[in-house]
Amino acid sequence: MSEPVLSARGLKKSFPSGDSVLEVLRGVDLDVAAGESVSIRGESGSGKSTLLNLLAGLDAPDSGTVAWEGSTDTGAGRRAAYLGMVFQSFYLVPELDAEANVLLARRILGGLDRAARARARELLGQVGLGDRAHHLPSQLSGGERQRVALARALMNGPRLIVADEPTGNLDERTGNGVVELLLGLCASANTALVLVTHNAAHAAKARRSLFLQAGLLGAG
């Protein structure tokens, strides 16, 4: 059996809170297979974003391990090629057009070439923005900006995408479309997806639904 794309064991994370310590994660275990989609729900403040940051290698646990295909190297050098990230707030560079924002993901890995530019245009076409490639973020709707972010996350052909409340700034109809698109793109590329969302309907669309409560993951 092949190694999971993502494997977490015994993740614990606490934060100072006045004179005490707030225990946010109390021993989270998670395996995600290649091409699998997993949603994580939880009450506000339950630690969903904290968990996602640990899984993405953006923060370190107090104890426990995170491995990508068996390797605990989750540093920035490997992250750029292995992982794509989608956030609630889009994080597009306002001075760059849609195509240039997508290409930012490739710039992290080195210089751009004709193949990279062709892939960026192809991805923008896949998210329905082929005719908006040279529009600035200010000229795009919220849904369109998030679709640019989806294309950027897929630019380097990642094995895993983590998405933190990707519909949080969108209306219901637009959010539904973004989630369907995200799931479809990941499925077609055999890219694993971990989706953090407060929306039960969106969570149910994933292959596996989990719920974070009292610092532990359980069935959603």
pLDDT band at 194 (very low <50, low <70, confident <90, very high): very high
Is the separation of the CB atoms in 137 and 151 below 8 Å?
Answer: no
Residue 18 in domain = yes
Residue 27 in domain = yes
pLDDT band at 153 (very low <50, low <70, confident <90, very high): very high
Burial (CB < 10 A; 0-12, 13-18, 19+), residue 169, is: middle
**pLDDT score, position 15:** 92
Q: Is 70 exceeded by the pLDDT of residue 220?
A: no
The token duo for 93 is: 């560079």
Residue 99 in domain = yes
Count of structural domains, the chain? 1
Whole-number Å distance between alpha carbons of 1 and 70: 12
Residue 1 in domain = no
Supply the CATH number for residue 112's domain: 3.40.50.300
**pLDDT score, position 76:** 87
**pLDDT score, position 205:** 96
**pLDDT score, position 183:** 96
Residue 10 in domain = yes
Q: Is 70 exceeded by the pLDDT of residue 10?
A: yes
The token duo for 171 is: 């209306």
Which pLDDT tens digit goes with each residue over 54-96? 999 999 999 999 999 999 999 988 999 999 999 989 999 999 9
Q: Is 90 exceeded by the pLDDT of residue 17?
A: no
The token duo for 19 is: 């004179």
Summarize the confidence of residues 16-25 as an average pLDDT: 90
The token duo for 84 is: 């794509």
Residue 101 in domain = yes
Q: Is 80 exceeded by the pLDDT of residue 2?
A: no
What are the residue ranges of helices labelled H in 23-97? Answer: 48-55, 76-82
Domain that holds residue 33: 6-219
pLDDT band at 174 (very low <50, low <70, confident <90, very high): very high
pLDDT band at 48 (very low <50, low <70, confident <90, very high): very high
pTM: 0.93
Whole-number Å distance between alpha carbons of 107 and 181: 25
Mean pLDDT over each residue of the chain, to the nearest integer: 94
**pLDDT score, position 44:** 85
Start-to-end CA span in the chain (Å): 26
Whole-number Å distance between alpha carbons of 160 and 35: 8
Residue 124 in domain = yes
Which pLDDT tens digit goes with each residue over 80-139? 999 999 998 999 999 999 999 999 999 988 888 999 999 999 999 999 999 999 999 999
